[in-house]
Amino acid sequence: MNGKVYIIGAGATKIGEHWDKSLRDLAVEALFAAVKDASIDKRDVEALYVSNMMSGELQGQEHLGALIATWAGIPGVAACKVEGACACGGVAIHQAYLAVASGLYDCVAVVGVEKMTDVIPSDVTAALATAEDQDYVVFTGTSFVGLNALIYRFYLEKYRVKQEDIARFAVHCHKMAVSNPYAQFRRPVSLEDVMSSPVIADPIRLLECAPVGDGAAALILCNERFLKENPRDDLIEISGTAVATDIVSMHERRDPLAASALRRALDIAMEKAGIETKEIDVLEVHDAFTILGILPLELMGYAPPGEGWRLVAEGQVEPGGKIPTNTMGGLKARGHPVGGTGVYQVLDIVTQLRGKAGSNQVEDAEIGLAQNFGGVASTVAVNILKRVR
Amino acid sequence: MNGKVYIIGAGATKIGEHWDKSLRDLAVEALFAAVKDASIDKRDVEALYVSNMMSGELQGQEHLGALIATWAGIPGVAACKVEGACACGGVAIHQAYLAVASGLYDCVAVVGVEKMTDVIPSDVTAALATAEDQDYVVFTGTSFVGLNALIYRFYLEKYRVKQEDIARFAVHCHKMAVSNPYAQFRRPVSLEDVMSSPVIADPIRLLECAPVGDGAAALILCNERFLKENPRDDLIEISGTAVATDIVSMHERRDPLAASALRRALDIAMEKAGIETKEIDVLEVHDAFTILGILPLELMGYAPPGEGWRLVAEGQVEPGGKIPTNTMGGLKARGHPVGGTGVYQVLDIVTQLRGKAGSNQVEDAEIGLAQNFGGVASTVAVNILKRVR
């Protein structure tokens, strides 16, 4: 390895329905915020990784690398789009890490962006379903909420857990998002609100689903050579990073709850970072649906299988608890603009490691881990951040 | 840098109208051919880069990383799709290079694939146009043949060159493709054939355009650590690699013929490889239209501006000439399955450096350079290969 890779800047747009902003507007706004946060000149950026899943389907626009570079006023830079379904943000950070670690680039930017409004709503569901196998699964008419409903139902039956206990994860996320200026939903919800919201795909209820939204988040990564020219003392290192895949469709896996790609990515990234689970101060999980907020807590060993819900019920996922999770609102309440999500997750950890999380601050947070899922955890990216002082 | 990066395997499907094969079939066929060529086990592959532009638009299928990994029987590997319009093949090779050079991966695969038949033909033109700016250019109704026609006409007027002299590049490519088993068109055409073919967008004639086709090509890249375990003596090094962008839309550039992204990518890659233009034994240019076959020859200094056509007329682009170019048929006759193209280009150079080009062999070819364009050269990838014995 060519030494270490650092995050020196992070920026984002608020997530929401930005009827007045196009995809490129959002991307450039986030990129400039990250450049400003890093106190660099935008011309310092040598390569641009654009994380996006659905611009082809929703905006009829590919070639986001050159397009965003142009609109940011930095044509010339190396640029491309990285796609790995909803995991593309975490995957793009992994690619940016490799670019810097290779020694070929000293300073690179990642911009994760998705524009999901200003299109026909049914198109969004269809575009999201392009993450699943069109020839063998999607033709049956299922969607991702349907597939996750199968996981959810299977879990409830296997462990004899009440839905309320899983659904409470949404209550947690909304509570955390109240103080997050980027969050799509800055209001608390009660468990009763969640359980009385409409059923979308049995058993999943509306308030258990991450929302549709527009947004962009950006990061600036660099190596030690760049730091020598641009010294600073608030350093955050990417101490571990991994991407793993699983059999793309769930019905072909031996155990639909195993999340083997998560296991594999965790093992690789944590070994590289040289950390154990207990050392993680703050965690970001990919709670596109509440059940996906609970499962990783069990797979990581914070609770026995079937008992992850207890961590939520006991407040152990809040700052000050055993494993502070989605402390800025997660996909559920911070929002889930697909291409942006994995980048927002890492931005949220950066906020914590910098001690800038306000009322949601995890005291003396030093190590954070983000999990980003694509498809039914068919692609998983894990990025581990460490504060360096 | 972490030492060197080598290509140890290359494989491909024939390019054509594969009505009986799906996108995944083509990708896996090419991947397995490359794995076999490398004499490795497919389980040696640690990461998979899928180069593709239009699967979202044409197949309604994203998430090709996990999908192709699954169908190749190697789920688990890190995988993603890389998109940079028609340059995605060259860009994906660049990313794969970075992955190996970073030290995080010892052996990675690149698969470039596009499936352009089995869809409505008008959809292909629209999908290709997603490489241009939808909001400010494509809404005018133009397409890539239209944009390249502007470049072509401007060139003809500026240099007072006859169209026949440019169109002759297609004759050259068809001649070269006759002996290429992967080529879409293995038949010669005459200059009269080209000049009497229908006008598509004035002045571009049908036989000056690269065809629509299906195909996939794959490469296996590795580092020296992997080679120690898997020794071989037919080594090809990626001695230089670069990606650069230009202002995405041509009408905003000062000079539509400047191809500044090509200049930039060439400068970076050639400096890294430590070579000068005269050392290049075999060249691949991105001749989506004949004019794009001529321009790079001038920009690289093989001929003065406005006189690149002489190299073709004099046979200097053939094996044995000054700069053997597109010796396996180029985009025009080998074919242009978009996501595959940049990978086919490098495969063709591998064939030459291995001395396996048969009747098209460039004697003692040691160094080859491939140029892959996206949009109107808005993204350009340059990869330089060197034979190591």
Minimal Cβ distance to A67: which of B69, B101, B248: B248
On whether both A102 and A135 belong to a single domain, the answer is: no
Question: Could you tell me if residue A1 is inside a domain?
Answer: no
Do residues B307 and B322 lie in contact, with contact meaning Cβ atoms separated by under 8 Å?
no
Question: Could you tell me if residue A75 is inside a domain?
Answer: yes
- The last residue of a domain, from among B199, B221, B236: B236
On whether both B180 and B231 belong to a single domain, the answer is: no
How large is the average pLDDT for residues A31-52?
98
The residue annotated as part of the active site, out of A18, A86, A88, A173, is A86
Instruction: Answer whether residue A1 shows pLDDT above 60.
Output: no
CA neighbor of B341 nearest in space, from B357, B328, B354: B328
Do residues A313 and A290 lie in contact, with contact meaning Cβ atoms separated by under 8 Å?
no
On whether both B188 and B81 belong to a single domain, the answer is: no
On whether both A18 and A43 belong to a single domain, the answer is: yes
Tokens at A20, concatenated: 């007045």
Q: Which residues of B are catalytic?
A: 86, 336
Find the angle CA(A59)-CA(A64)-CA(A65) to the nearest 5 degrees. Answer: 175
Across the interface, whether the CB atoms of A104 and B379 are under 8 A apart is answered no
Q: Nearest 5°: phi and psi at B345?
A: -55, -45
For B105, the closest chain A residue by CA position comes to A98
Instruction: Answer whether residue A2 shows pLDDT above 80.
Output: no
Which 3 state secondary structure label does DSSP give A94?
A: helix
What are the distances in angstroms from CA B55 to CA A122, A124, A361, A377, B92?
19, 17, 43, 21, 16
On whether both B93 and B152 belong to a single domain, the answer is: no
CA of B344 to nearest chain A CA: how many angstroms apart?
19
User: What's the CA gap between A253 and A259, in Å, rounded?
Assistant: 9
- The last residue of a domain, from among B201, B236, B271: B236
Tokens at A4, concatenated: 């270490």
Question: Could you tell me if residue B163 is inside a domain?
Answer: yes
Across the interface, whether the CB atoms of B63 and A57 are under 8 A apart is answered no
**CB hemisphere CA count around B147 (13 angstroms):** 27
Tell me which chain B residues have a C-beta less than 8 angstroms from the C-beta of A244: 76-78
Minimal Cβ distance to A63: which of B82, B101, B375: B375
A63 catalytic? Reply is: no
Q: Per-10-residue mean pLDDT for chain B, 389 residues long? A: 86 98 98 98 98 96 98 98 98 98 97 95 92 95 96 98 98 98 98 98 98 98 95 93 97 95 98 98 98 98 98 98 98 98 98 98 98 98 95
Tell me which chain B residues have a C-beta less than 8 angstroms from the C-beta of A134: 59-61
Across the interface, whether the CB atoms of B61 and A130 are under 8 A apart is answered yes
Do residues A223 and A5 lie in contact, with contact meaning Cβ atoms separated by under 8 Å?
yes
Question: Could you tell me if residue A125 is inside a domain?
Answer: no
Which pLDDT value is given to residue B2?
54
Instruction: Answer whether residue A321 shows pLDDT above 80.
Output: yes
The residue annotated as part of the active site, out of A94, A174, A286, A336, is A336
Cα B248 to the center of its chain, rounded Å: 19
Minimal Cβ distance to B101: which of A76, A104, A261: A104
Q: Nearest 5°: phi and psi at B329?
A: 120, -15
Directed axis angle between helix A23-38 and helix A64-71, to 10°? 60
CA of B26 to nearest chain A CA: how many angstroms apart?
15
Q: Which residue range(s) make up the domain with A113?
A: 6-120+212-236
On whether both A30 and A86 belong to a single domain, the answer is: yes
Across the interface, whether the CB atoms of B83 and A81 are under 8 A apart is answered yes
Question: Could you tell me if residue B1 is inside a domain?
Answer: no
Q: Residue B293: which CATH number?
A: 3.40.47.10
Cα B129 to the center of its chain, rounded Å: 18
Across the interface, whether the CB atoms of B75 and A47 are under 8 A apart is answered no
Instruction: Answer whether residue A7 shows pLDDT above 70.
Output: yes
How many beta-carbon contacts under 8 Å exist across A and B?
Answer: 228
Across the interface, whether the CB atoms of A76 and B260 are under 8 A apart is answered yes
Minimal Cβ distance to A60: which of B130, B242, B247: B130
Question: Could you tell me if residue A389 is inside a domain?
Answer: no
How many Cβ atoms sit within 10 Å of the Cβ of residue A288? Answer: 24
On whether both A55 and A71 belong to a single domain, the answer is: yes
On whether both B85 and B107 belong to a single domain, the answer is: yes
On whether both A228 and A319 belong to a single domain, the answer is: no
User: What's the CA gap between A362 and A383, in Å, rounded?
Assistant: 19
CA dihedral A271, A274, A279, A281 (to 10 degrees): -80
Tell me which chain B residues have a C-beta less than 8 angstroms from the C-beta of A57: 56-57, 60, 62
Across the interface, whether the CB atoms of B132 and A243 are under 8 A apart is answered no
On whether both B253 and B363 belong to a single domain, the answer is: yes
Tell me which chain A residues have a C-beta less than 8 angstroms from the C-beta of B374: 63, 66
Question: Could you tell me if residue B247 is inside a domain?
Answer: yes
Query: pLDDT by residue (tens digit) across A266-319?
Result: 999 999 999 999 999 999 999 999 999 999 999 999 999 999 999 999 999 999
Tell me which chain B residues have a C-beta less than 8 angstroms from the C-beta of A3: none
Which pLDDT value is given to residue B233?
84
Minimal Cβ distance to B67: which of A66, A95, A133: A133
On whether both A173 and A73 belong to a single domain, the answer is: no
Tell me which chain B residues have a C-beta less than 8 angstroms from the C-beta of A61: 130, 133-134
On whether both A298 and A275 belong to a single domain, the answer is: yes
Query: pLDDT by residue (tens digit) across A125-154?
Result: 999 999 999 999 999 999 999 999 999 999
Tell me how many domains chain A contains. Answer: 2
For B105-118, give one letter per residue: b (16+ CB within 10 A) or e. bbbbbbbbbbbbbe
CA neighbor of A80 nearest in space, from A50, A110, A101: A50
Instruction: Answer whether residue A389 shows pLDDT above 80.
Output: no
Minimal Cβ distance to B98: which of A67, A102, A260: A102
Tell me which chain B residues have a C-beta less than 8 angstroms from the C-beta of A22: 135
Across the interface, whether the CB atoms of B76 and A130 are under 8 A apart is answered no
Question: Could you tell me if residue A181 is inside a domain?
Answer: yes
Which pLDDT value is given to residue A356?
97
